[in-house]
Amino acid sequence: MSHSGMERIVQTLLQEPAMSSRSSILAILCALLLGTAPLSAVAQEATPATPSYDAALAEKLGADERGMRPFVLAILKTGPRDAEITDREQRAALFAGHFANMTRLADEGHLVLAGPLGGEDGRRGLFILATPDIETARQWVDTDPTVEAGVFVVEYSRYYGSAALMTVNDLHATLQKPAPQ
């Protein structure tokens, strides 16, 4: 087989998404050992592209020089009134308000990430809030009807994480299927 034929095979293997990196490396090594692919062509194709730094995006997301930023992590735990509030309509109204409040906070850019937890040790949900200040986060979360009613109590901690978290809500909107009508 000619060098150009083997180069095409190696390039095809490198671009094949179903091919594991281990399989690709094995195929390239075989081609090199057989002397049918020049090392320079393989090295060029095997080098992954490095994402380039986007200063404007880093600034927009509030990233520091490491691409990180401060947040507040809020853990929602079972509150003192959770077991007392048993009326279905009342609970439904409280949780409708809970979801509406999360939507509002996300729309305002305050709520970066939210989701349920498994209930271990009373931990029922989490929020990551776009502020370094626990008191500010507390003011935002205290507007939640389930917190006001005592269904949940909240524990707060400072969290230092990737500024890319600020893009989760926009990205999530592209992954969620529209509700059936």
pTM value surpassing 0.85: no
- Segment 16-60, tens digit of pLDDT: 444 444 444 444 444 444 454 454 554 555 566 778 999 999 999
The domains of the chain, with CATH numbers, are 3-46 (no CATH), 58-175 (3.30.70.1060)
What is the rounded distance in angstroms from the CA atom of residue 7 to the CA atom of residue 27?
Answer: 11
Give the tokens for residue 13: 């293997």
Give the tokens for residue 99: 């979801």
Give the tokens for residue 69: 């930023």
What is the rounded distance in angstroms from the CA atom of residue 134 to the CA atom of residue 67?
Answer: 21
What is the rounded distance in angstroms from the CA atom of residue 105 to the CA atom of residue 74?
Answer: 14
Residue linked to tokens 């979801």: 99
Mean pLDDT within 94-116: 97
